[in-house]
Amino acid sequence: MQIYLPIAEVSVNAFLLLGLGGMVGILSGMFGVGGGFLMTPLLFFIGIPPAVAVATEANQIVASSFSGVLAHLKRQTVDLKMGTVLLIGGLFGAAIGVQVFKALKEIGQVELLVTLCYVVFLGVVGGLMFLESLRSIRHAKKSAGKRAPRKAHNWVHGLPFKMKFRTSGLYISAIPPLMVGASVGVLAAIMGVGGGFIMVPAMIYLLGMPTKVVIGTSLFQIIFVTGFTTLMHATTNYTVDMALAVLLLIGGVIGAQIGTRIGVKMKAEQLRILLAILVLAVCGKLALDLLLEPTELFSLGPGGH
């Protein structure tokens, strides 16, 4: 069934959009990522104008993250206190990021810089997670039954303004979560994604949070950052397509519920290695687009200054 999207001004198959939404929703629920880093390129591929794809994707992420976070709240795997601290940093970061984006746009080449950002961050994050998961799986096999050694204290624990994060079982300074939130906020605004794929590893490796809590908390924070982004796009660029968002989110919210349940049944290491492979695959695809000669060297964009 074809459907004409009022803002994007293209006609697409409604079932294709439902399917894409569902697929990305499953991943979103499993890994606690918004799925924007996957969905946005997929929308480009089916012919949605990039500006509309980025803005509408933010709106859809709100829905799937909200659905996901409710499931996590039921199981008490959301650290609301940590989420709020991250969020405060995140909103500051997003505000800075919007300004950086505007500055990049004036120089031109914003498309290239966004793609490079994707390749670098997805590559580094995916690579690190992949190696780490491999190591912990091998370690777990060798010393089956034995407990992993306690985490060593690092510089993070020497900072002031210590707070107790009961759900995460942490007693650390508020500065690192604020900084993580802010830097993810900047990247989220520039790359047009929720930032979960950077947030999740940052929470695990920098803050030392337990993996199960990380996903719910990340989703909690993403709702607010993407909600803010949606409003910004709707009021400045008029590029949020409600019809597209509804179709994507119907698939997305159902997928997120299924994904959350799959995530519970899987071991943390398996979850992490799957996410790492996914991140690396998207990174490889984007890198190839930069490296291989395109069949059409010319591209069209809206004109007028």
Partner 1 sequence: MFRIILAALLLAFPAQGEETIVADLSQNNVSITATFDGTGILIFGAVKRFQPAPDNGPMQVVIAVAGPSHPVTVRRKEKRFGIWVNIDAVEVDEAPSFYAIASSAPLDQVLSATEDLRYKISVDHLIRSVGAPSTVSDPTHFPEALIRVRQNNGLYTQKGGQVDLMDETLFRTQIKLPSNLVEGDYKTRIFLTRNQLVVDEFVTTLAVRKVGLERWIYNLAHQRPLIYGILSLTIAILAGWLASAIFRVLRLN
How many chain residues are in contact with partner 1, going by CB under 8 A? 60
HSE (side-chain half, CA atoms, 13 Å) at 58: 25
Q: Which residue has the tokens 């459907």?
A: 3
299 contributes a contact to partner 1 by CB under 8 A: yes
Minimum gap (Å) between residue 145 Cβ and partner 1: 33
Q: Are 290 and 111 in contact (CB under 8 A)?
A: no
Amino acid identity of residue 194, one-letter, is: G
Structure tokens belonging to residue 260: 């959350």
Minimum gap (Å) between residue 153 Cβ and partner 1: 39
Minimum gap (Å) between residue 33 Cβ and partner 1: 16
Q: How far apart are the C-alpha atoms of 57 and 206, rounded to whole Å?
A: 28
Nearer to partner 1, 3 or 179 (CB): 3
262 contributes a contact to partner 1 by CB under 8 A: no
105 contributes a contact to partner 1 by CB under 8 A: no
Minimum gap (Å) between residue 148 Cβ and partner 1: 33
Q: How far apart are the C-alpha atoms of 284 and 277, rounded to whole Å?
A: 10
77 contributes a contact to partner 1 by CB under 8 A: no
40 contributes a contact to partner 1 by CB under 8 A: no
44 contributes a contact to partner 1 by CB under 8 A: no
Question: From the list 243, 264, 274, 280, which residue makes contact with partner 1 (rule: CB under 8 A)?
Answer: 243
Amino acid identity of residue 154, one-letter, is: N
Three-state secondary-structure class, residue 166:
coil
106 contributes a contact to partner 1 by CB under 8 A: no
Residues 110-139, interacting with partner 1 (CB under 8 A) = 111-112
Q: Are 222 and 65 in contact (CB under 8 A)?
A: yes
Nearer to partner 1, 145 or 301 (CB): 301
Quick one: CA torsion of 90, 91, 96, 100, rounded to 10 degrees?
80
Nearer to partner 1, 106 or 155 (CB): 106
82 contributes a contact to partner 1 by CB under 8 A: no
- Which stretch, 86-94, 186-194, 224-232, 271-279, contacts partner 1 (CB under 8 A)? 224-232
Phi (first) and psi of residue 177, to 5 degrees: -60, -40
Question: Is the alpha carbon torsion for 261, 266, 267, 271 positive or negative?
Answer: negative
246 contributes a contact to partner 1 by CB under 8 A: yes
Number of Cβ atoms within 10 Å of the Cβ of 145: 5
Q: How far apart are the C-alpha atoms of 39 and 193, rounded to whole Å?
A: 9
Nearer to partner 1, 111 or 143 (CB): 111
Binding site for partner 1 (CB under 8 A): 1-4, 6-7, 9-11, 47, 59-60, 62-68, 70-71, 74, 108-109, 111-112, 227, 230-231, 233-235, 238, 240, 242-243, 245-246, 249-250, 253-254, 256-257, 289-294, 296-305
